[in-house]
Chain A
Amino acid sequence: MLKSKIKMLQLAVTLLACAFLFVPIVLSVMAGLTVNYFQGISSGLTLKWVFQVWDLYAGSIFLSMWLAVACLFCTLIIGLPAAYGLARHPGWMSRLLEEFISLPLAIPGLALALALLQLYGSMKGFRASWTFILVGHVLYTLPFMVRSILAVLASMDLKTLEEGAASLGASPWQRFRDIVVPNAMPGILAGALTVVTLSIGEFNLTWMLHTPYLKTLPVGLADSYASMRLEIASAYTLVFFILIVPLLMAMQWASARAQRITQ
């Protein structure tokens, strides 16, 4: 009897916590689908607001996707060789470098953005182009890529594997291509999904760096809440969910997979 009471209590707490988290989301989504939020569901359901969001903010959606892809490209080009270098030369220097790369995680995005603005703000062409936001995103997401790849590389005997390939006649580039990259793949995949998800959702930095012509998805969301009717802003949230939730799930799956390999 006592046991079932405890069970009931546990269930109640869990359900309450879930409700606490889910109700606002459901309300928000519903707001985006009702004809008139102030009249409630009785006013009817519509996709009108969603289409309106598309008309108003399609540019933001495409910019965010483009930024995420470009950011992924940059973090791969920088992060893969960096992780490889750190894995091949373990020591206090590498530890220090790794911490250094991770610094942007500890510094508020706002401060990072201010530093970028101070340094490059006067370069008009650069300041006004999407590449300015890209720099911020790369700074912020690079540590995730490096750490994710490094964790997988550190879990195997990379040095001996490469020596094995070398003894079979593989040049340093062939070793990197045939041995390092394929074996680092789970880490690369997990890192890539993290980078894309973070880049699409990034607000702090982007808010500071954006121009009126360059609004990313989250910046557009803030804009819609500030200047549009609530239904449109809520429909925007729905669009955001649809884009980010599958990415988030894929990221969880890839990270779990990479973790299995490192164990």
Chain B
Amino acid sequence: MTLRLTHTAKTYPDGTEALLPTDLSVGKGEIVSLLGPSGCGKTTLLRIIAGLETPDAGSDIWFDDDNVTALPVERRQVGMVFQSYALFPNMSVRANIGYGLKMQRLPKSEIDARVTEVLEMCQLQPFAARAITALSGGQRQRVALARAIAPRPRLLLLDEPLSALDASLREILRDELAVLLREFDITAIFVTHDQDEAMAIADRVAVMSHGRIVQSGTPEDLYRNPTSSFVAGFVGNAMPLRGKADGTKLHLNGGTLTLPMDGVGQTVFVRAEDVQIIKNGPLRGKVETVTFLGTHYRIGISGIASDTIASIHSGQVAPKVGDTINVSIKPETLMLLPDEADVA
């Protein structure tokens, strides 16, 4: 199914504009992630698509050629995975998964067959008869997904489905979810505040800020070609190098950097992996922090720009805290973006 939103907005009775007029199209089978900090409107947008929130007048939501704007959630045929999973504590795993099918008034034999099929897909057979309270967080997450997918919805909506899990489990389930969603071959929208999650799961990421979609593209595209300081900072944690630009030279506290183009009126960003510690580098700074992360060190360097600059250092030995080091940054790795008054 393709989803099309035109001019969709949400203003709360108290005047809060949770979502500014937004257009969004999601192609058949595409997995789109809505990524942004909390309060950016991503969950509001998801709830409007689900039918759990009424958009402002003038908004239009299309599922293929059906205008569903006025349809209540129970008639939109969407599958939804909630942040808290919202599993029914009064039902077993099997009954939870079968509930949507029961609502479609399917014959009992068919419900059984389809629940069994979904249980297998999500590797939940051993837990079919269990009570919800007897499941671990990861198992609950899978039941929530199975329950949403069992009625074969037109569109799958996931609201921060991994945020209730602890970090180690989150990473495993993230990859598992990416595989499952593709196996289901379903159009899906996935809300998250975690850029790694969005990158790992989605075909396309829509970055949101202050009630707007600020940039939408493939994960690679967003990472390499952000169009705003916000996206650069939020996706991949690019760091601003604030200094005085003079044509293609940028004068920083710790030295002068060559820019790939005229830097006047632009903010220059760099990512930690592009900051290289080299003996004869043009920039000088002082090591503030050294964090060993297994495959590499993350080194915080002060004195180069106004903020501490991080560097990913993959050598066997790291400099020590307090050392003065030289740093080089290749001009082609720098990102020049228009100055923004509001950098969230």
Contact = CB atoms under 8 A, between A and B. Distances in A.
Interface of A: 156-157, 160-161, 163-171, 174, 178-179, 182-183, 185
Contact of A163 (B79, B82, B104, B148): B82
Interface string B289-304: 0000000000000000
A259 B89 CA distance: 16
A164 B151 contact: no
Contact of B89 (A156, A165, A171): A156
A56 B77 CA distance: 65
Contacts of B82: 160, 163-164
B51 to A, nearest CB: 8
Contacts of B50: 167
A158 B86 CA distance: 9
A167 B103 contact: no
A164 B86 contact: yes
Given A160-B86, A171-B74, A183-B90, 9 more contacts: A157-B84, A163-B52, A165-B88, A165-B99, A166-B52, A166-B74, A167-B52, A169-B103, A183-B89
Contacts of B86: 157, 160-161, 163-164
B84 A178 contact: no
A157 B74 CA distance: 19
Contacts of A171: 74
Nearest to B103: A169
B87 interface: yes
B171 to A, nearest CB: 26
B78 A167 contact: yes
A182 B90 contact: yes
Contacts of A174: 103
Given A166-B73, A167-B50, A179 B104 contact: no
B99 A167 contact: no
B147 interface: yes
A170 B76 CA distance: 11
B211 interface: no
Contacts of B73: 163, 166-167
Given A157-B84, A160-B82, A164-B82, A170 B90 contact: no
A168 B84 contact: no
Contacts of B77: 169
A182 B90 CA distance: 6
B89 A164 contact: no
B90 A168 contact: no
A164 B103 contact: no
Contacts of A167: 50, 52, 73-74, 78-80, 148, 157
B322 interface: no
Contacts of B79: 167-168
Interface string B237-271: 00000000000000000000000000000000000
Nearest to A261: B89
A183 B133 CA distance: 13
20 contacts: A157-B84, A160-B84, A161-B86, A163-B80, A163-B86, A164-B80, A164-B82, A164-B147, A166-B74, A167-B73, A167-B78, A167-B80, A167-B157, A169-B104, A169-B151, A170-B103, A171-B74, A178-B88, A182-B90, A183-B90
Interface string B124-146: 00000000000000000000000
Contacts of A161: 86, 88
A258 to B, nearest CB: 14
Of A165, A169, A174, A179, chain B has the most CB atoms within 10 Å of the CB of A169
A174 B72 CA distance: 14
Interface in B145-159: 147-148, 151, 157
A114 to B, nearest CB: 44
A160 B87 CA distance: 9
B20 to A, nearest CB: 24
Contact of B99 (A156, A157, A168, A185): A168
Nearest to A162: B86
Given A160-B84, A163-B82, A178-B99, A169 B89 contact: no
Contacts of B87: 164
Nearest to B95: A178
A169 B102 CA distance: 9
A169 B77 CA distance: 7
A182 B147 CA distance: 19
Contacts of B55: none
Contacts of A178: 88, 99
A36 to B, nearest CB: 58
Nearest to B80: A167
Contacts of B72: 166
User: Considering the complex of A and B, which 9 residue pairs feature the smallest CB-CB distances, nearest first?
Assistant: A164-B86, A168-B100, A169-B103, A167-B80, A182-B90, A160-B86, A166-B73, A166-B74, A169-B74
